[in-house]
Structure 1
Amino acid sequence: MTSAIRLTPLDNTIKHHDHDFHQIVIGLDGHAEFEIEGLGGRIAALSGCIVPANHVHYYEGIGTNRQLIFDLPDDTPALSGIHREHARLFDAPRFFALDEPLHTYLNFLVQELAQPQAAQGDLLAATFLGCLRARLPQGSANAAPGRRRSLDLAALDDFIQRNLERRLSVADLADRACLSVAHFSECFREQAGVTPYQYLLRHRLTAARRLLAESRLPLNEIAARTGFASQSALSHAFRRVYHQSPGELRRRGTLQDRRGPEDTRHHLAHSTKV
């Protein structure tokens, strides 16, 4: 798939969603508020945020605003092949500011998008991602091979299970491990084979599925007990992974198989946004 670059304002109402592609949002005019899995910040002109794929994010435009948005699927040329190292930008959500050279490139990019025959989006995106990655700290990218810290996944599992109702974020897990979010995310993905957010989502969905099987709690109560922001957020994630809603699963009595975390992990790895 190819990259998409677009100019758009954000509504002045709080909205939230997630999607199966990475995203970078950069302010051109006005302001916007973002919260990405518990990490919050404000975007002003020439500052932005990185939204990794499948991370639930809340956003709201403040007054008149205009944003430059990069939509970047995993397999876009800007993140694969010779540019595959750019994908490390999306190990964790973060906010950033643009320096003067990137400001100049951004002006060129915006002008280029206005041309009838604009340059290929993947080329523009790859150039920007390479420049941005060179400017942002890469956590443990310079650590010597073989000396990466081993995470206590059993302790993290216990922490997650005891705190599911808190709507845990990746930052909460990183704090528990006494690491920065970027360093923790990199270590976690190497050790567990999935991102911390996918791991959290696996625990939430497994717990929600168990409550559906073992109780008659209403869906909004199950959502609250398993860390989802709302019943609709639970239903959205559940449908994407299990290909049916929680209500449908309960009504059809298909919970007898009691899929465990490994099955949920398989579904998470192959699910797509609906």
Structure 2
Amino acid sequence: MSADHGRALHENVVRIERRVHSWNGVTVIDVEEHTRGEVLHSLVNDEETGVAMALEEVGGVTEPRLKPDQACTLDHRPNHMTLVPKGMPLWGHATRDLHYSRYALLLFDLDALETRFEEDFDARMFARPRLRFTDDRIHALVRMLINIPDQDPSMTLLGDSLTSAVFALLSNENEQLPAGTKLSRHALCLVESYIRDQLPRRIELRELAELAQMSQWHFSRGFKASTGLSPYQWQLAKRLEMVEELLSRSDAPLDAIAMATGFRDATHLARTFKRRIGEAPAAWRRDRR
């Protein structure tokens, strides 16, 4: 399990494809690797701590190794994860019959994340390697992260919220996390007003959490407990209200409306509008005129 980071490909690696995202100071790399024959990667990383998650394995399996010639003694499980502390030697092994694998790499600076996530982040949980562990909640969150469209600033709040949740779960030894506590009326009004006033500017979760004087993870859970929606969903609802107003009060083309409301392009706006509102923007505009 490794991206090649610019090095020459292993002789049994046919092709590697990767997509790189970054949210909240975390680099997320979605890797697809096509192989023929046994592969052994060195996973030494002197700069960052990393988490690797197996997403798909076709034909064979992958495994983490503490020594290149010593097989992992832990049983293989689908979607297994490995945590690699900064500077620790580790190897990723793919069996001879594996011909395709997909995995996600989360790379991060431990000190920077501890400052950013505050009490939601326990650095002690990242000081030792953890091999072939699984967590369905983290798997679901990482799947959502890698499915966020490339270069879409309107998804910043979503990416920030998901990475915050991933590291809260990785930092927590307990199976259950405490339920979210509702925000105070003052904090909720302050945050909602801020989101409205900043539309359609890209907003980071850090900004909203600071307004509420809370950590990111506790703020996200508290906001949803208060409104029934995540910060990203609430912001999206307000952006769609802007779209409805522009559709009903102007003859502006959809690409201009998309630009004015923070969507990537007219296609992205039309797809999101239909999914959330139930009909295409053109039909919605026509029916209300």
TM-score normalised to structure 2 length: 0.45
Task: Report the structure, 1 or 2, having the larger helix content.
Answer: 1
